[in-house]
Amino acid sequence: MPVITYKIYIEAPVQICFDLARNVDVHTETTSKTKEQVVGGVMTGLMEKGDSVTWEAVHLGVKQKLTAKIIEMEQPFKFTDTMVKGAFRSFTHTHEFIEKGSGTVMIDRFDYTSPFGIIGKLADKLFLENYMRRFIVDRAIALKRIAEKKDRKI
């Protein structure tokens, strides 16, 4: 069961970072490489505890759907979403925000289990864990760019 943790410093207030990370429109903007789009649930704006969203995207050359639900929220410092339906056996993604100086440290913790038992574990070692790490890092860097823009909109 791989756990991917990534930390990034963002020169923006914690509330801005928190709101950008749970904004459906920003999510689609920061995942444009995978052509991610909303096909169900919360279609636009900020997600709250109990909300779910269904994404459709192309990962590893395959179009996939995934439904996630926000199961925990401590504004503006943390929220956790979990997979309800999708390609993984399970996942939990915790987004944490810590005020530091004039900015925020954003920590993504992605804890997942691949399907298909031993074959899934082999896929993790061969390519999937690296693919997921890159996806999380790329999204965090894109979110940082948006948060640090002076003319940003949430």
Mean of pLDDT over the chain: 95
Q: Sort 12 into a burial class: Cβ within 10 Å, 0-12 / 13-18 / 19+.
A: buried
Instruction: Give the distance, in angstroms, between the CA of residue 114 and the centroid of all CA atoms in the same chain.
Output: 17
The predicted structure's pLDDT at residue 152: 66
What pLDDT, in 10s, does the model give residues 114-151? Answer: 998 899 889 899 999 999 999 999 999 999 999 999 77
The predicted structure's pLDDT at residue 49: 98
3-state secondary structure of 145: helix
Which of 3.90.1150.10, 3.50.30.30, 3.30.530.20, 3.40.80.10 is the CATH number of 3-147? 3.30.530.20
Q: What is the pTM of this model?
A: 0.93
The reply to whether omega before 76 is within 30° of 0 (cis) is yes
Smallest CA-to-CA distance from 7 within 126, 125, 100, 113 is with: 100
The predicted structure's pLDDT at residue 20: 97
Q: Which residue has the tokens 């069961």?
A: 1
Q: Which residue has the tokens 């990370």?
A: 21
Smallest CA-to-CA distance from 135 within 45, 47, 42, 64 is with: 64
Beta strands in 17-149 (DSSP E): 37-41, 52-59, 62-74, 78-85, 90-100, 103-113
